[in-house]
């Protein structure tokens, strides 16, 4: 297993276009997270899946954002009608969690989105 | 919101020990203390975590105060590759049982050759 994979690494899009990012977590990990990071800031939580269920969404996740994790494997994050303020690094992380343990998260290298 | 306080930046010399402090005065009895680091142009990387006792692994040591209101990440011999932003995090668990890491701004560590 090569860790958490995110595609594409970079995306440049025009304002108003839709974009979709993909995250492939570590195969046995049942939890998957999306974060957003802007320059000089720590990552901000966006949403979280346990298997295929989306259990929590941040207030940062406006109506233009949607995330899915069909079959509890890979996940996609779509941003509709992109705005310049959406320019950021989008990070995906996965973890294996069950009652009684406290494992760390494994992050991907992120997708850097630039909206022009 | 992040529940930890860290210095914005610290500097060290190569091959010297580094002690990165973190305050978490509102920590609860079940909160684990996590440390991650982020190298330039990469996602965060897990470093270490602990609950009450000091912890050691191949990357670092974690010293936890007896009252658990502060902790220190110790890099025993800093290398240039340790230059990164280090995040001290309390794992956030919602009443519904979902959990996530809430990052602050972290400490930017500069290692001088």
Contact by Cβ (8 Å): B7, B107: yes
The pLDDT score that the predictor gives to residue A19 is 98
- What is the overall mean pLDDT for chain A? 92
- The shortest C-alpha distance from B45 to chain A (Å) reads 7
Averaged pLDDT in 10-residue chunks for chain B of 113 residues: 87 96 89 92 92 90 95 96 95 75 93 96
B96–chain A Cβ distance below 8 A for any pair? yes
The pLDDT score that the predictor gives to residue B22 is 96
The pLDDT score that the predictor gives to residue A1 is 54
Which of B44, B91, B98 has its CB closest to that of A43?
A: B44
Put simply, the answer to whether B106 touches A42 (Cβ < 8 Å) is yes
* Separation of alpha carbons A3 and B48, rounded Å: 18
pLDDT tens for each residue of A102-116: 568 999 999 999 999
Contact by Cβ (8 Å): A81, A92: no
The pLDDT score that the predictor gives to residue B3 is 85
The pLDDT score that the predictor gives to residue A101 is 52
Put simply, the answer to whether B99 touches A97 (Cβ < 8 Å) is yes
The pLDDT score that the predictor gives to residue B94 is 72
Averaged pLDDT in 10-residue chunks for chain A of 116 residues: 89 98 94 94 93 90 93 94 97 79 82 98
Tell me how far CA of residue A107 lies from CA of A21, A78, A84, B105, in angstroms.
15, 19, 25, 17
* Separation of alpha carbons B66 and A21, rounded Å: 44
CB contacts under 8 A, B 22-81 vs A, are: 32, 34, 36, 41-46, 49, 51
Phi-psi region of B30 (alpha: psi -120 to 50; beta: other; left: phi over 0): alpha
Which of A42, A50, A105 has its CB closest to that of B46?
A: A105
Chain A neighbors of B98, CB-CB under 8 A: 48, 50, 55-56
The pLDDT score that the predictor gives to residue A5 is 96
A25–chain B Cβ distance below 8 A for any pair? no
The pLDDT score that the predictor gives to residue A42 is 93
The pLDDT score that the predictor gives to residue B20 is 98
């Amino acid at each position: 297993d090569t860790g958490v994979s995110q595609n594409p690494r970079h995306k440049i899009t025009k304002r108003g276009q839709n974009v979709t990012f993909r995250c492939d977590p570590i195969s046995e990990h049942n939890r998957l997270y999306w974060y957003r990071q802007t320059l000089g800031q720590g990552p901000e939580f966006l949403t979280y899946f346990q298997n295929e269920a989306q259990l929590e969404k941040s207030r940062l996740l406006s109506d233009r954002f949607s995330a899915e994790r069909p079959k509890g494997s890979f996940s996609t994050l779509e941003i509709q009608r992109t705005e310049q303020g959406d320019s950021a690094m989008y990070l995906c992380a996965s973890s294996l969690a069950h009652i009684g343990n406290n494992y760390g998260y494994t992050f991907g290298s992120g997708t850097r989105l630039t909206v022009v | 919101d992040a529940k930890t306080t860290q210095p914005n930046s610290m500097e060290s010399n190569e091959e010297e020990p580094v002690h990165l402090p973190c305050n978490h005065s509102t920590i609860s009895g079940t909160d684990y203390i996590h440390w991650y680091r982020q190298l330039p142009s990469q996602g965060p990387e897990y470093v270490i975590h602990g609950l009450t006792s000091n912890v050691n692994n191949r990357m670092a040591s974690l010293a936890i105060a007896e009252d658990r209101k502060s902790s220190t990440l110790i890099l025993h011999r800093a290398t240039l590759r340790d230059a990164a932003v280090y995040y001290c995090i309390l794992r956030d668990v919602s009443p519904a049982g979902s959990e996530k890491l809430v990052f602050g701004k972290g400490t930017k560590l500069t290692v001088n050759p």
